[in-house]
Structure 1
Amino acid sequence: MLTSMKSIIDKALTLPRQTVAVACAQDAEALKAVAEAQAMGLADFILVGNTDKIRSIADTIELDLAPFELVDARGEACGAATTVAVVASGRAQILLKGFVDSSVLFKAVLNRDAGLRNGATVSHTVVMDVPGFDKLYLLTDAAMIIRPDLETKRQIVLNAVKVARALGNPDPVVGVLCESEKVNPKMPATVDAAALVEMNRSAVLTGCRVGGPYALDNAISIEAARHKGMRDPLAGKADILLAPDLAAGNIFYKSLMYFAHARSAGVVMGTKAPVLLNSRADSHQTKINAVALGILMAANGNQA
């Protein structure tokens, strides 16, 4: 089982080389990432976007564009649609977000006629390598679904389980995060948590073990769970952390990134090919991490 971001990259380097299409590649951090990843032998890249700007930025950062295929597409909407077409045609196996607004990119990705949607619930799972912990945590959903209902939460969990399996964890523990570890009708997230646990027990939600409701400390700390007198055998052992909504998930994700200096890699599930959704503010290393995760997902065929 992979336990660090480095181990994800090392594993990806042993797998068949994939081609990544970068949507709106006119961005210095994106270009630094693809240059380093290609030099490492991690992947090949097709750079889609305003080729004049791409060349100008490449000159500024002294990057040789000779190893890359460039596809000219002016404007965010055109760049997103063109990148999706490149992936849909099979010329690339993975899509990496460059300097493009997420809403614009996903309008193209989810286009019913020309996009990459496969009919499943589309959700985002981010893998977190947090300093001080000897395991990887998966957090979902921190980028896509604003207020998931119970059935959508079930689908989000199933998507995250596929990512966990690609990382070598065949039986991940899902911790359903809430405001409290007690079911309270006034706290809908705790009610959903109890329902997800019951779905898991009755084999409606399979491929994992589900515990909750958990406050964050009870999900990741056995000591905290014992101190509170919890008898749940899964308490403190979560591998996958299910956020109650997008606001909680996104704030938690960015808190880990900026306060704890966590290393991360995120992938969108429910699409025909891995879609790597990064913040435009992310470093080039975070983008390399995402490419490595995308290669693992592509190799495992876990997008279906």
Structure 2
Amino acid sequence: MLDKAADAYIENRTFDELTLGETASSSHTVTQRDIDLFATVTGDVNPAHVDPAYAETDMFHHIIIQGMWGAGLISAVLGTKLPGPGTIYLGQNLRFRRPVSIGDTITATVTVREKKPEKGDVTLDCVCANQHGESVITGTAFTRAPNVKVRRKRVTLPYVRVGRHDGTTAILARAAGGAPVVTAVVHPVDTASLLAALDAARAGLIVPILIGPAARIQEVATAAGVDISAVRLIDAHDGSAAAAQAVALARSGEVALLMKGDLHTQELMHEVVASQTGLRTARHISHAYLMDIPDYPRPLLLTDVAINIAPTLREKVGIVQNAIDFAHVMGITQPRVAILAAVETVSDRLPSTLDAAALCKMAERGQITGGLLDGPLGFDNAINEAAAAEKRIVSQVAGRADILVVPDLEAGNMLAKQLTFLSGAEAAGVVLGARVPIILSSRADSASTRLASCALGVLLARVGRG
């Protein structure tokens, strides 16, 4: 029987205790996260190390995975097991014999070959083998063994989050692959919104038309050290006037995308939803974020967090359909839609659970199309399969959601900010359901988030989706 208490400690073998032929081992399964950690710690961004295009090359396998984890595992065995704490690592000779791939489980084994009592030096044979028992590394380690007995409590390592924003990178690459979209930039009278528009133009995403107080916009450009002389500039005395002009350009077909500058969302949306002069269609207007979360294995759409404060069931139908259609444009052919609530059971004490059940039934009857719906679901069992299994929820959606539909704006706003500021998510957002897509940027948005939001709007505009 294993002594679990002993596992909480590391203990060395002194020089006198070591015997020839004595062995110790340690195993590790190689993941992409390992490669990312290595690159993050060392700053080594050689494409052969971190670019997926190189992932199947022998150079990638030998240099990174073998060198990093082979030598690292051997060092870990020497330092924690044999000889253990107090060991001085003098040197090593290693030969790489087979490639190692992400997903391989590598076991490093060291064996005492020779002891030299003069200084307490110990030579050990080293072998790293894969899950098939094939040797991938062989070699020799030279150490100076401890002469004092050490038994220490095993240190609990800190949790380290390392992740990529590959989804955001893919969106930008896809958007940059077509013709730039003429875009009305509404009231860009602050540095962040003006530079965001110019960055998107330089990236080949948009052709900006700046609308707002001309003199003020020019002052911002001068202070930021950028030249806007080649950019069309339409003078409008304030944010409301700029919003009205932008909406008029969209109605006439001169622009295919709106981009919010330094004005309140309500000020822009007032002109967008105006019954006679706005950009309404038969669809409901809603907002969706595309969240790129390092710890989540797929893009995650979150809706509605910016437009509909306390949506009715009818409005939720439009919100869900907009999100599904948006997911289709993003290449998700049959998105899994989780209708969120505080609990997973339907209760008349929680109206959000009644709405969730109704939405699922409406999808069954064809009133919502193009996706798989389930709800009510708690956030945990919507995005985590283990949490769903723990509550015995059998569903095609639970644990694997592509779209999260929140019960109201407050819940959605808080969830979006938690994912962004606590989980390291990139959140690109866009308003759906109008004649043209509308990019709503927050003052807290980073430059990369603003650019990603612009890319989303461009992709929707190119397929004629508002």
**TM-score normalised per structure 2:** 0.63
Q: CA deviation at 1:290?
A: 1.2
For residue 259 of structure 1, give the secondary structure of its aligned residue in structure 2.
helix
Q: Which residue of the other structure, out of 284, 289, 304, is the alignment partner of 1:121?
A: 284
- Is 1:23 the counterpart of 2:186? The answer is yes
User: Which residue does the alignment assign to 2:322?
Assistant: 159
Q: CA deviation at 1:189?
A: 0.9
Residue identity matched to 2:462 = A
Alignment of 1:69-84 (within 5 A): 69-84=232-247
- Is 1:215 the counterpart of 2:378? The answer is yes
- Is 1:187 the counterpart of 2:312? The answer is no
1:183–1:213: 8 Å Cα contact kept in structure 2? yes
Q: CA deviation at 1:86?
A: 2.1
Moved more, 129-138 or 161-170: 129-138
- Is 1:14 the counterpart of 2:177? The answer is yes
Moved more, 277-286 or 112-121: 277-286
Alignment of 1:138-287 (within 5 A): 138-287=301-450
User: Which residue does the alignment assign to 2:455?
Assistant: 292
Distance (whole Å) between structure 2 residues aligned to residue 88 and residue 27 of structure 1: 26
From the two aligned structures, give the one with the greater strand fraction: 2
Deviations 1:117-166 (A, max 9, x none): 11321111111111222311100000111111112111110001111011
2:301–2:403: 8 Å Cα contact kept in structure 1? yes
For residue 380 of structure 2, give the secondary structure of its aligned residue in structure 1.
helix
1:15–1:295: 8 Å Cα contact kept in structure 2? no
1:4–1:129: 8 Å Cα contact kept in structure 2? yes
Residue identity matched to 1:235 = A
Distance (whole Å) between structure 2 residues aligned to residue 192 and residue 287 of structure 1: 33
Moved more, 213-222 or 59-68: 59-68
2:179–2:204: 8 Å Cα contact kept in structure 1? no
Q: CA deviation at 1:3?
A: 6.5
- Is 1:58 the counterpart of 2:218? The answer is no
Over aligned residue pairs, what C-alpha RMSD do you find? 1.5
Structure 1 unpaired stretches of 5+: none
Distance (whole Å) between structure 2 residues aligned to residue 205 and residue 39 of structure 1: 39
1:3–1:135: 8 Å Cα contact kept in structure 2? no
Distance (whole Å) between structure 2 residues aligned to residue 67 and residue 40 of structure 1: 16
1:3–1:136: 8 Å Cα contact kept in structure 2? no
1:98–1:280: 8 Å Cα contact kept in structure 2? no
Q: CA deviation at 1:43?
A: 1.4
Residue identity matched to 2:464 = G
Structure exhibiting the larger radius of gyration computed from Cα positions: 2
For residue 135 of structure 1, give the secondary structure of its aligned residue in structure 2.
coil
2:435–2:465: 8 Å Cα contact kept in structure 1? no
Q: CA deviation at 1:232?
A: 2.2
For residue 289 of structure 1, give the secondary structure of its aligned residue in structure 2.
helix
For residue 170 of structure 1, give the secondary structure of its aligned residue in structure 2.
coil
Residue identity matched to 1:232 = S
Residue identity matched to 1:115 = G
- Is 1:104 the counterpart of 2:246? The answer is no
User: Which residue does the alignment assign to 1:91?
Assistant: 254
Distance (whole Å) between structure 2 residues aligned to residue 229 and residue 97 of structure 1: 44
Identity percentage of aligned residues: 37
1:176–1:210: 8 Å Cα contact kept in structure 2? yes
Distance (whole Å) between structure 2 residues aligned to residue 51 and residue 280 of structure 1: 21
Deviations 1:95-136 (A, max 9, x none): 000001111111111112221111321111111111222311
For residue 186 of structure 1, give the secondary structure of its aligned residue in structure 2.
coil
For residue 423 of structure 2, give the secondary structure of its aligned residue in structure 1.
coil
1:131–1:261: 8 Å Cα contact kept in structure 2? yes
Distance (whole Å) between structure 1 residues aligned to residue 278 and residue 456 of structure 2: 21
